[in-house]
Structure 1
Amino acid sequence: MHGAMTCEKPQTTGRVAFAVIAVGLCVTGSAYGEYASGRHGWVLTVEIAAGAAAVALTPMLFRRPVRSALLLAALAALSPSATPASTVGTLQVARCRPFPVAVGVALVGIAAHAVRGLWLPMPGLPYGWWLVLVVIGHGAFVGWGALAAARTALIASLEERARRAEAEQGRRVAEARAAERASIAREMHDVLAHRLSLLATYAGALEYRPDHPPERLSQAAGVIRTSAHQALDELRDVITILRDDPADDHPDGVGPPVPALADLPELVEESRAVGTPVDVRDELADPGALPGRTGRTAYRVLQEALTNARKHAPGQPVSIALDGTPGARLEIEVRNPLPGEPVGTSAIPGAGSGLVGLTERVRLAGGELDHHATPAEFRLRAWLPWPQ
């Protein structure tokens, strides 16, 4: 198919002009040879007319190669002047048409030259040898054209592969950028949602209870200021982790600390400080054996669960259960009762995509997360692989 499409492409003016000039020179030389050999009259007239027709048909070989080659073969049966153009036609058909078609055109050309050899024999050359040379010549041109067609098809195939590889590379770059944006959004949500929920809780207390003693108001303002500083510090750490390559910036392996399950007590105390009772049942066999990625993912699961509890069930107790052993898996369960009446619009802003991003984070870590709400309580369960 590639060969069949080659001739449909527009040919350069230089290539067509070169073919016409080359055929014209050969026709002129052939006609002069006939004249020098003593042939005059109607034979020379036919020679010149056939040669002129062959030159005129040569540009058509690049648009309609099969028809033009057959017409040139017919002219070659009348005059030797058309032989150069006829052989060029055979070559062109072999270059841009399927091989069986090229063989058929070559056979027509051989037959035309065989006919011409009968009524206008080649001087000094037996007819049998003349046929042998004609067959060899046409076979060579068919082979040459087929080789050129195969080369053209190979180049077209390589160009197509290059275009596909470039498109695939562009797609991979786009996917990598989308994954990076999702990772940044996930980290930003995990870090800021928790801190901002604390800020919103204390700010709400200041707004609705302005009659608190001055020392309580001062204490709440101090907590807000401390939480804001902590949010900025954690945001800076996240940006540093996402932007920099730890292997380049921290060759000794020492970099900004990342949260892990060992930081759970601090997380629990922050929730208790804003009025959320939290009960923790820790039955882990060896918490220190948790890999860094698993510990960090577990911390984010608990952080999101406590943030959701403060948003949708403020003041309700939260129960956390941890279990697991190395070589098995880490299991996390968080429960909190739901208020009897809807809370309405939460004072804590949210995009509503925290659990979606958390589910994706857990899946990327090789685990699973499930959450569902009943009229009485909200329950979140997650498990993560814990290699030996």
Structure 2
Amino acid sequence: MTSAAVEHPGLLPGSLGTTARRTTRDWLVDSFCFVVSMAWVLAATFDAASPSPVLAERLPYDWMIPADALVGLAASVALWVRRRWPLGLAVATLPLGMFSVAAVAAVLIIYFTLVVHRRTTVAVAVTAAGLVANMFFALLRPEPGNPYWSTTLWGAVITLLVLAWGMFVRARRQLVLSLRERAERAEAEQQLRVAQARHLERTRIAREMHDVLAHRISLLSLHAGALEFRPDAPAEEVARAAGVIRGSAHAALQDLREVIGVLRAESSLTEEPERPQPTMADLPALVAESRAAGVRVDLRDEVSDADRLPAALGRTAYRIVQEGLTNARKHATGAAVTVGLRGAPADGLTVEIRNRWPVGEPTEPLPGAGTGLIGVAERVALAGGRLAHGRDGSGDFRLAAWLPWPAT
């Protein structure tokens, strides 16, 4: 409900309040109502001033004609403020309904405004008072040749017609207002859903880039450490290590540039952002990178019908292996790593990374955010699988995940 409606308890939502500004349409409507009311005042005044013995019976005193015209003029001028005080004007003009003919048009317009902008209980109460005033009008201004009840009945019919018309207009305005609010709410909810989807998409991209950058930076650190501890290495090995460092650094910067561009861009959801989308087919290249860095990796691929593996499932398996190799380089330097893949449609996909538990602590352990395994757990949970990690009975560190692989 608007602030104006709060200030005026009888004011309907969407109606004009004390602080509402008159729009162009309101100016046109108010001008039309004023012209109609003035036209009625002139017509009633000229009709009353015309020489007729019948009118002489109705208006026994000549001063009544200009007095009635002044009353009608005052009521017509009051039409300009009827939107601000519909109830007050309706109550103030109720006595005019007992004797004034020139003010009839203005009184009906004010009454119509009251019905449109006030609640039903208020409109019914004013209607009842108006019907009582109409009964007095038939007594004070009788129609020659017409019985009393006939004049009263016509006045009541006109009043009830205005009431029905005003209630119809009010109901229609409420319906339009409700539909407009519903459309605005639906649009706001749609924008919220788009913003949430964009946020989730960017979060997923950032999580994937964390895995990518952690893998590449761990390679950089491993090669740099080898150069630091073997300054007397042959020139060929130094050149090869420097080339790997340069390539890994370039790839890391490229990945970082892509993810920053995606996170900054206000692209629509229909546009697929550019980002790494590895699959199971990229696992040999991932293992080759680790081997080139000096890590002993044994890849055992026992997956049946690998070409039928869903892309999302293959990407999740790739990230699990990537995180396992990254953790092995960080926390088990020099240990051999075994990567095992097995599975088939309807049986699921099992990914296992195993390495010996390190003896002692690394001289300079690589820093980490500690969120790698958390991200892997989230990926596995979203895929509907199971994840286990930790030291097993043989003393090895084991990272294993089972992912559902539907038959179709």
- Tell me the CA shift for residue 304 of structure 1: 1.4
Distance 2:404 2:262 in 1: 24
* CA shift digits 1:168-213 (9 cap, x unpaired): 2322332233233224323433333323321221122112321223
Matched to 1:354, the amino acid is G
RMSD: 3.8
Counterpart selection for 1:312 from 327, 331, 334: 331
Counterpart selection for 1:294 from 313, 326, 330: 313
Structure 2 residue matching 1:333: 3-state secondary structure: strand
Matched, 1:93 2:102: no
Distance 2:84 2:201 in 1: 52
Matched to 2:221, the amino acid is A
TM-score if structure 1 supplies the norm length? 0.81
* Map of 1:334 onto structure 2: 353
Pair 186,130 (structure 1): closer, same or farther in 2 beyond 3 Å: same
Q: How does 1:133-144 map to 2 (within 5 A)?
A: 133-144=154-165
* Map of 2:149 onto structure 1: 128
Pair 322,50 (structure 1): closer, same or farther in 2 beyond 3 Å: same
Instruction: Name whichever of 22-31 and 42-51 sits farther off.
Output: 42-51
Counterpart selection for 1:367 from 381, 385, 391: 385
Matched to 1:11, the amino acid is R
* Map of 1:260 onto structure 2: 279
Instruction: Name whichever of 189-198 and 60-69 sits farther off.
Output: 189-198
Counterpart selection for 1:7 from 16, 32, 37: 16
* Map of 2:8 onto structure 1: none
Counterpart selection for 2:172 from 151, 162, 176: 151
Q: How does 1:35-114 map to 2 (within 5 A)?
A: 35-36=49-50, 37-38=55-56, 39=59, 40-44=61-65, 46-114=67-135
Indicate if the aligned counterparts of 2:45 and 2:66 stay in contact, CA closer than 8 A.
no
- Tell me the CA shift for residue 370 of structure 1: 5.0
Distance 2:258 2:97 in 1: 85
Structure 1 residue matching 2:232: 3-state secondary structure: coil
Q: Which has the higher contact order (CA 8 A, sep 6+)?
A: 1
Distance 2:197 2:316 in 1: 21
Pair 238,85 (structure 1): closer, same or farther in 2 beyond 3 Å: closer
Distance 1:282 1:160 in 2: 59
* CA shift digits 1:72-99 (9 cap, x unpaired): 1211113222221221122111111122
Q: How does 1:171-250 map to 2 (within 5 A)?
A: 171-225=192-246, 227=248
Matched to 1:355, the amino acid is L
Counterpart selection for 1:20 from 34, 39, 53: 34
Pair 259,54 (structure 1): closer, same or farther in 2 beyond 3 Å: closer
Matched to 1:301, the amino acid is I
Distance 1:335 1:24 in 2: 97
Unaligned runs of 5+ in 2: 6-10
Counterpart selection for 1:354 from 366, 372, 383: 372
Distance 2:213 2:131 in 1: 85
Distance 1:240 1:87 in 2: 66
* CA shift digits 1:322-380 (9 cap, x unpaired): 34331132222334455454447534x65544334434443444435454579x76543
Instruction: Report the count of equivalent residues.
Output: 380
Structure 1 residue matching 2:203: 3-state secondary structure: helix
Matched, 1:276 2:295: yes
Distance 2:357 2:147 in 1: 109
Matched, 1:164 2:185: yes
Matched to 2:202, the amino acid is R
Distance 2:331 2:72 in 1: 95
Indicate if the aligned counterparts of 2:206 and 2:259 stay in contact, CA closer than 8 A.
no
Unaligned runs of 5+ in 1: 250-255
